[in-house]
Structure 1
Amino acid sequence: MEHNAFPDSPPLPQRDAALFLDLDGTLLEIAPRPDAVVVPPQLPPLLARLSAGLGGAVAIVTGRGLEVARALTRGGLAGTPPIAFAAEHGTIIDASALPGAAIPPMPPPPFPPEAWRAAAEAFVEARPGLLLEEKKHGFVLHFRAVPERGEETAAFLHGLAAGSEFQVLPAHAAAELRPRATDKGVAVSWLMRHPPFAGRVPIFIGDDVTDEFGIEACKALGGTGYRIPRDFPGPAAVLHWLGRIAERMPA
């Protein structure tokens, strides 16, 4: 008999599902610093098995940069699992690890001015405890160590983005500056236009306000979405749920 350690988890999907999964706070526990997250050893092989059972229709949709997302899902394995990536909140689409997939990139988003990056560096340097996380098409200011700086940090980024092609979104003890034209919902919709995702029932799992875009896109496409802590108590429950899906697939 199948053991379910989290009996209140959502029902398991059918084999025509497409999975869109956030990383931090969803598959990985939140850490004090972005570079301090711990990858559960079962995650990389689990992603590979899910991809095999769902015809490759598994994507990591994350605010992380592409290379970081690849490394986190690879763990100690030699290669990246055969999955797709929508990195930097969908700004960067990559399906190079999916054999035979031909998913084109989305229209190129803008880059933030170098003067903004320099201003962010100076802002952080003058305020011990803040952390700057660089991305290709934006950056994040983390204030987990100094939560009293949160309002000031968000105001600084809003000042940079005012009247531009960029926006500021809140995250876990952080504020992120990124292009307006893309979000996780746009990324899901783009991936769902192309094999191996096209024609499947999309399911999004996330934990943050930015994941709501992905959840709403899945609902609009006839699927659904789940969010921590509303539907799962935490990443351990998500991994257990995904493991139950994998157990039902042919070896």
Structure 2
Amino acid sequence: MPIPPIPALNAALFLDLDGTLIEIAPRPDAVVVPPFLPGLLARLADRLGGAVAIVTGRGLEVARDLTQSPPIAFAAEHGTIVDASLLPGAVIPPMPPPPTPPQAWREQAAAYAAAHGLLFEPKKYGFVLHFRAVPERGPAAAAFLQAMAAGTAFQVMPAHAAAELRPHGLDKGSAVRWLMRHAPFAGRQPIFIGDDVTDQFGIDACAELGGTGYRIPTDFPGPSAVHGWLEGLAGRLAA
């Protein structure tokens, strides 16, 4: 498989986390982060003037903890939360806060997960039902959330062996567009790398803004190839 070419020096990187920078695990809390990844992200941020962002379905604090909080921007919960507080010198305002699902919904979803062998993952502005251990129950889990969200300000999005309830109108593409309005991202060529159906929103946004996007396994066979590509970019920037 030919690896995409190393981009121009004015790139802005938007990187998914699970399945792109770290391997998918049977449970979200069982992932193994490569020990070199935090340093690689910090080097890329330094050499790209800070124009690096993790765009992930994970919660903000979880994403920071997994990557050891490098000086980059984070777009968490599929773009629902955008935070650049770790990015030195950047003044990127947070997006307007979205609605929060009722506590009763969280309790109902948690009870449903417990009764059907699923994993319930709470987030600030939504929650997820993971069915990797019982894939045959995936369609019913998605239908359960669809019925809950019908006619409300929330939507249900599919992911890797999971269904997620989150606010309407916010996705990884909206996060990319927001960050690209502000320094240090503004004026650069946006590049998105992801692996899941939710990453297509980010890829499409980059294309609209004059950039491009890549998917695993179409453009990269897996996270290790992405690591090598990013190392090549870091080396080129250093030279």
TM-score by length of 2: 0.98
Between the aligned residues of both structures, percent identity stands at 74
Once the two structures are superposed, what CA deviation does each residue of 1:169-208 show, in whole Å capped at 9, x if it has no partner? 1100000000012100000000000000000000000000
Counterpart in the other structure of 1:144 = 132
Report the Cα distance in structure 2 between the residues aligned to 1:187 and 1:124, rounded to whole angstroms.
Answer: 29
Give, in angstroms, the shift of residue 250 of structure 1. Answer: 2.3
Once the two structures are superposed, what CA deviation does each residue of 1:77-116 show, in whole Å capped at 9, x if it has no partner? xxx2110000001111111111110100111100001110
Query: What residue identity is the alignment partner of 1:110?
Result: P
Answering whether residue 65 of structure 2 is matched by residue 50 of structure 1, we say no
The partner residue of 1:102 within 86, 91, 114 is: 91
The partner residue of 1:197 within 164, 185, 189 is: 185
Once the two structures are superposed, what CA deviation does each residue of 1:202-221 show, in whole Å capped at 9, x if it has no partner? 00000001000000000000
Give, in angstroms, the shift of residue 65 of structure 1. Answer: 0.2
The partner residue of 2:148 within 141, 160, 170 is: 160
Report the Cα distance in structure 1 between the residues aligned to 2:48 and 2:63, rounded to whole angstroms.
Answer: 21
User: Is the Cα–Cα contact under 8 Å of residues 45 and 81 in structure 1 kept in the other structure?
Assistant: yes
Counterpart in the other structure of 1:13 = 7
Answering whether residue 113 of structure 2 is matched by residue 124 of structure 1, we say yes
Report the Cα distance in structure 1 between the residues aligned to 2:114 and 2:218, rounded to whole angstroms.
Answer: 37
Counterpart in the other structure of 1:62 = 56
The residue matched to 2:237 in structure 1 has which SS?
Answer: coil
Report the Cα distance in structure 2 between the residues aligned to 1:125 and 1:206, rounded to whole angstroms.
Answer: 30
Kindly report the root-mean-square deviation, in angstroms, between the aligned alpha carbons of the 2 structures.
Answer: 0.9
Report the Cα distance in structure 2 between the residues aligned to 1:250 and 1:204, rounded to whole angstroms.
Answer: 21
The residue matched to 1:56 in structure 2 has which SS?
Answer: coil
Query: What residue identity is the alignment partner of 1:122?
Result: A
Counterpart in the other structure of 2:35 = 41
Give, in angstroms, the shift of residue 248 of structure 1. Answer: 1.4
The partner residue of 2:165 within 170, 177, 180 is: 177
Report the Cα distance in structure 2 between the residues aligned to 1:135 and 1:71, rounded to whole angstroms.
Answer: 15
TM-score by length of 1: 0.94
Give, in angstroms, the shift of residue 249 of structure 1. Answer: 2.1
The residue matched to 2:116 in structure 1 has which SS?
Answer: coil
- Unaligned runs of at least 5 residues, structure 2: none
Give, in angstroms, the shift of residue 127 of structure 1. Answer: 1.3
The residue matched to 2:46 in structure 1 has which SS?
Answer: helix
Report the Cα distance in structure 1 between the residues aligned to 2:98 and 2:215, rounded to whole angstroms.
Answer: 27
Counterpart in the other structure of 1:114 = 103
- Unaligned runs of at least 5 residues, structure 1: 1-6, 75-79
